[in-house]
Amino acid sequence: MTTSVNTSKVYDEIIDFIAAGTTPESVVKFQLSDTAKERLEYLVYQHKMGELTPEEKKELDHFLTLEHIMILAKAKAHQYLKAE
């Protein structure tokens, strides 16, 4: 199943989340949309099958970078919550 999701839409989801104002609790609970998750699953599957196009590889790399940033933000949010 291919779900066309522009990587900028994923950036927009994260930017909107941050711009709306965050709390440590909301950072910990943050999840991407189902559409973005489906696209990521598709890209990971294609990667495992060795069938990613160069454009899809770039898109997967962007997803992974954003995921890394969110993991770090969630870890920091947990620290803030423990300190309260």
Question: What is the tens place of the pLDDT at every residue in 27-77?
Answer: 999 998 999 899 999 999 999 999 999 999 999 999 899 889 999 999 999
- AA identity, residue 20: A
Our count of domains for the chain comes to 1
25-33, long-range: CB within 8 Å, 24+ apart, which pairs? 25/77, 25/81, 27/73, 27/74, 27/76, 27/77, 28/74, 28/77, 28/78, 28/81, 30/70, 30/74
Compute the distance between CA of residue 33 and CA of residue 53 in angstroms, rounded to an integer.
Answer: 24
For residue 2, tell me if it sits in a domain.
Answer: no
Residue 49 lies in a domain: yes
| Residue range of the domain that includes 35 | 7-83
Residue 1 lies in a domain: no
CA distance 83 to 5: 38
At residue 41, the pLDDT reads 94
